[in-house]
């Protein structure tokens, strides 16, 4: 007899992620760590030759500090690699660039988005043809539009249908990468706790009719279900933002002949994405207008603000924002951004993030940014990784160090990536960020701990970003397909 359950599970789509590369300049150590170790060795050697043991002990705090910088970790990062971020954070604090306040007497110029930090350079315009809000980054030279997508519950589908949906979504990403125009794509899933009044109100209207049909037992079960789960209801919204190459410079550059051509090219990408989404059984609700995008931005910075009030993008930004080392304070909330530093290392289903997405009673957003790499750039990265692996293996053999399985696993990941590239598949670099928001700093710490435990259940490792929370919040909480550094 055939085990249908095992057969269905075997047909379910599984994925495996590559490990985070740990290659470096020497024996897996980065250039900055090697420089610290070399400086410490040089300082200790010179002190011994000049002053003997006394000089060695006298300079111990100096060379010992350098060694500590090379090996001591904080927040998952080595101290010497954290120094540039810490220095930048301190400089911004001295210059008061870690604070943002709206100046009522000095309104922002028309067409700006009134965002803090590097988002202050963003401009926008409304497409006359599609009505979509187009975000222009004059520094990067990119144009971004956002699509609101609706879809059925993936986890309730059959294994065959799940596999078909995953294949369809992979074709969407492959199409964006193959066009050569898309420089970045962002899938953003926002989750906000809901009072449950909508579903409760619907059931109250339908309950009388269901009771009259003689299904009292079913109505009792629905009543018990709503009493249990309605308080923990949540509103989910799926957004896809695509950024394509556009003109650099001021917003006026979009009004010229070249700007009109770039906008036409953007419309072609939008049309292609619409077709790909239909083929993947994803329903395009619509391209976000200025009012829709403004509401998303406002609610991200002020979770207590109503989400259905007509707004404009030039006034949707935060009223006040204070950046701290590992969290940010904005309007009526506190937020922290977590980076998914390691994806699952074993075969997992395509719904492996289910525990994070459906974590109850937490205001959060899950952002996955895909950056297409050109074939030439991908081949160059693969060759560099292979050379680093061979060099590292030779150095380990020279000094008699034992090679571990992690090195072999990284090499296998590089070779799998090369095989996929030679087979004609697109090469994309994925970055996952989780934004958590709470009303108080204590609630935020609880939410961070809760989501970190959920990430462990998903097979992921997360790190709380340090010294760059404001920039990460703009990239992770807003559907703007911003670059992540």
Reported as a single tens digit per residue, the pLDDT across 417-475 is: 888 888 878 888 999 999 999 999 999 999 999 999 999 999 999 999 999 999 999 99
Which pLDDT score is estimated for 231?
61
Radius of gyration of the chain from Cα atoms?
26
Task: Name 335's bridge partners.
Answer: 328, 437
| For residue 203, pLDDT beyond 80 | no
The span from the CA of 402 to the CA of 27, in Å, is 11
| For residue 258, pLDDT beyond 80 | no
Q: Which of 183-192, 253-262, 340-349, 450-459 has the lowest mean pLDDT?
A: 253-262
Q: Which residues of 22-48 are buried (b: 16+ CB within 10 A; e: fewer)?
A: ebeeeebbbebbbbbbebbeebbeebe
CA angle 8/17/375 to nearest 5° reads 115
Q: CB under 8 Å, gap of 24 or more: what pairs does 157-161 form? A: 158/8, 159/8, 159/9, 159/11, 159/12, 159/13, 160/11
SS (H, E, C) the chain: CCCHHHHHHHHCCEECCCCCCCCCCECCECHHHHHHHHHHHHHHHHHHHHHHHHHHHHCHHHHHHHHHHHHCEECCEEHHHHHHHHHHHHHHHHCCCCEEECCCCCCCCCCECCCCHHHHHCEEEECCCCCCEEEEECCCCEEEEEEEEECCCHHHCCHHHHHHHHHHHHHHHHHHHHHCCEEEEEEEEEEEECCCHHHHHHHHHHHHHHHHCCCHHHHHHHHHHHHHHHHHCEEEEEEEEEEEECCCCCHHHHCCHHHHHHHHHHHHHHHHHHHHHHHCCCEEEEECCHHHHHHHHHHHHCCCCCCCCCCCHHHCCCCEEEECCCCEEECCEEEEEEEEEECCCCCEECCCCHHHHCCCCCEEEEEEEEEEECHHHHHHHHHHHHHHHHHHHHHHHHHCCCCCHHHHHHHHHHHHHHHHHHCCCCEEEEEEEEEEEECCHHHHHHHHHHHHHHHHHCCCEEEECCCCHHHHHHHHHCCCCCCCC
* pLDDT (tens digit per residue) in 210-257: 555 556 677 777 777 777 766 666 788 899 999 998 776 655 556 655
Q: Tell me the mean pLDDT in the region 111-124.
A: 87
Domain extent listing, the chain: 1-97, 101-194+233-477
Indicate the pLDDT class of residue 261, thresholds 50, 70 and 90. Answer: confident
Which pLDDT score is estimated for 213?
54
Q: For a pLDDT cut of 90, what percent of the chain falls above it?
A: 38
Q: What is the mean pLDDT of the chain?
A: 84
Residue in 239, 238, 242, 247 with CA at minimum distance from that of residue 273: 242
Indicate the pLDDT class of residue 4, thresholds 50, 70 and 90. Answer: very low
The span from the CA of 240 to the CA of 238, in Å, is 7
| For residue 8, pLDDT beyond 60 | no
* pLDDT (tens digit per residue) in 121-149: 899 989 888 899 999 998 888 999 999 99
Which pLDDT score is estimated for 208?
66
Which pLDDT score is estimated for 255?
60
User: For residue 188, how many C-alpha atoms fall within 13 Å in the half-sphere facing its CB?
Assistant: 27
CA angle 327/330/332 to nearest 5° reads 120
Residue in 101, 126, 123 with CA at minimum distance from that of residue 113: 123
| pTM, two decimal places | 0.86
User: For residue 33, how many C-alpha atoms fall within 13 Å in the half-sphere facing its CB?
Assistant: 19
Indicate the pLDDT class of residue 22, thresholds 50, 70 and 90. Answer: low
The span from the CA of 254 to the CA of 263, in Å, is 8
């Amino acid at each position: 007899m055939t085990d249908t359950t095992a057969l269905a599970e075997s047909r379910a789509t599984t994925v495996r992620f590559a490990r985070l590369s740990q290659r470096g300049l020497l024996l897996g150590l980065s250039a900055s760590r090697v420089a610290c170790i070399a400086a410490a060795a040089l300082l200790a050697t010179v002190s011994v030759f000049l002053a003997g043991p006394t000089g060695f002990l006298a300079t111990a705090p100096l060379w010992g500090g350098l060694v500590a910088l090379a090996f001591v970790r904080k927040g998952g990062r080595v101290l010497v690699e954290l120094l540039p971020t810490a220095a930048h954070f301190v400089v911004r604090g001295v210059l008061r660039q870690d604070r943002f306040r709206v100046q009522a007497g000095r309104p922002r110029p028309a067409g700006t988005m009134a965002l803090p930090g590097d988002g202050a350079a963003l401009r926008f315009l409304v497409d006359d043809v599609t009505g979509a809000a187009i975000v222009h980054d004059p520094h990067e030279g990119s144009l971004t539009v956002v699509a609101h997508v609706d879809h059925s519950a993936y986890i309730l589908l059959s294994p065959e249908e799940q596999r078909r949906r995953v294949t369809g979504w992979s074709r969407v990403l492959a199409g964006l990468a193959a066009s050569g125009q898309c420089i970045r794509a962002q899938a953003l899933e926002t989750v906000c706790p809901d009072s449950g009044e909508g579903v409760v109100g619907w059931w109250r209207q339908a309950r009388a009719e269901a009771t009259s049909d003689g299904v009292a037992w079913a109505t009792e079960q629905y009543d018990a279900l709503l009493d249990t789960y309605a308080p923990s209801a949540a509103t989910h919204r799926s957004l896809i933002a695509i950024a394509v190459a556009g003109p650099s410079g001021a917003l006026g550059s979009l009004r010229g002949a070249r700007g009109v051509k770039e906008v036409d090219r953007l419309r072609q990408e939008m049309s292609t994405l619409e077709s790909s989404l239909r083929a993947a059984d994803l329903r395009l609700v619509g391209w976000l207008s200025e009012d829709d995008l403004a509401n998303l931005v406002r609610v991200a910075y002020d979770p207590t603000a109503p989400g259905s009030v007509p707004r404009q993008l030039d006034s949707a930004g935060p009223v006040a924002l204070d950046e701290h080392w590992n969290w940010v304070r904005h309007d009526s909330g506190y937020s922290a951004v977590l980076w998914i530093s390691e994806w699952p290392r074993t075969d997992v289903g395509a719904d492996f993030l289910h525990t994070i997405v459906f974590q109850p009673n937490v205001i959060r957003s899950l952002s996955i940014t895909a950056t297409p790499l050109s074939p030439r750039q991908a081949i160059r990265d693969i060759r560099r990784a292979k050379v680093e692996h061979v060099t590292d293996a030779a150095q380990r053999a020279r000094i008699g160090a034992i090679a571990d399985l992690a090195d072999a696993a990284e090499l296998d990941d590089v070779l799998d990536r090369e095989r996929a590239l030679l087979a004609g598949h697109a090469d994309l670099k994925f970055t996952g960020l989780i934004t958590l928001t709470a009303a108080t700093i204590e609630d935020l710490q609880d939410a961070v701990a809760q989501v970190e435990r959920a990430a462990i259940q998903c097979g992921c490792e997360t790190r709380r970003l340090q010294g760059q929370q404001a920039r990460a919040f703009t990239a992770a909480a807003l559907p703007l397909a911003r670059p992540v550094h």
